[in-house]
Amino acid sequence: MTSLRLVTLCSGNVARSVMLGTMLTILSDANGYGWSVRTAGTHVVEGLAVSARTRNALHSLDDLGEPHVGAHRSHQLNGDDVTWADAILTSEASQVTFVRAHLPSGAARTVSLAQLLREAPLDLAFADQLRYVASLEPMTFFDVADPAGGDQADYDACAAILWEMAQAFATMVAKVTG
């Protein structure tokens, strides 16, 4: 399978992007995909650790084993991340819009993950699927709700949704690159 450089993107880089980045790394390691994954946010207070709720949500998913996120520190998406990435996978339409407005060189590689999974033509190579979906208007219908401010059940529900999406992404990419 083609190795990919992936950036997972959310708002604060302390919940959704960290969960998804961890999940994609675990899937890559378990299946030999060779993906490199970075996480970032669009409106970040630099250097924050993940919350106990984020960590607990990851640990609540039996399939993930014991994911390690203790060394994570929040990071604002920047030009280096955009240049490095083959794909930037967002949690919300507003994050696609942010990249288009502030880091336009990454616009053709930035998509809402849920929109990619739903609207990518199945008969195209991954890079073409990515470009196609990046050319569409991002839709809030596909947003993964931010659990920030919620209780543990909100974080657990978010993690469960992201885990399903991460597995679907891995299957989709394996079919078109493997």
Residues shown for the chain: 178
CATH code for the domain of 125: 3.40.50.2300
135: Cβ contacts below 8 Å, ≥ 6 apart: 108
Given a cut of 60, whether residue 1 has pLDDT beyond it is no
pLDDT for 65: 79
| Widest pairwise Cα distance in the chain | 41
pLDDT at residue 2, rounded to an integer = 66
- What pLDDT, on a 0 to 100 scale, did the predictor assign at position 103? 98
Contact (CB, 8 A) for 97 and 119 = no
Report the mean per-residue pLDDT for the chain: 94
Structurally, the chain folds into a number of domains equal to 1
pLDDT in tens, 130-149: 999 999 999 999 999 999 99
- Alpha carbon distances (Å) from 176 to 2, 9, 14, 58, 82: 10, 23, 31, 28, 23
Q: Estimate the crossing angle of helix 52-59 against helix 16-31, to 10 degrees.
A: 30
pLDDT in tens, 20-71: 999 999 999 999 999 999 999 999 999 999 989 999 999 999 888 777 777 8
Question: For 66-94, what is each residue's pLDDT tens digit?
Answer: 777 778 899 999 999 999 999 999 999 99
Structural domain span for residue 41: 5-177
Give 113-124 pLDDT, tens digit per residue.
999 999 999 999
What local confidence, expressed as pLDDT, does residue 71 receive? 83
- Looking at residue 178, its pLDDT comes to 57
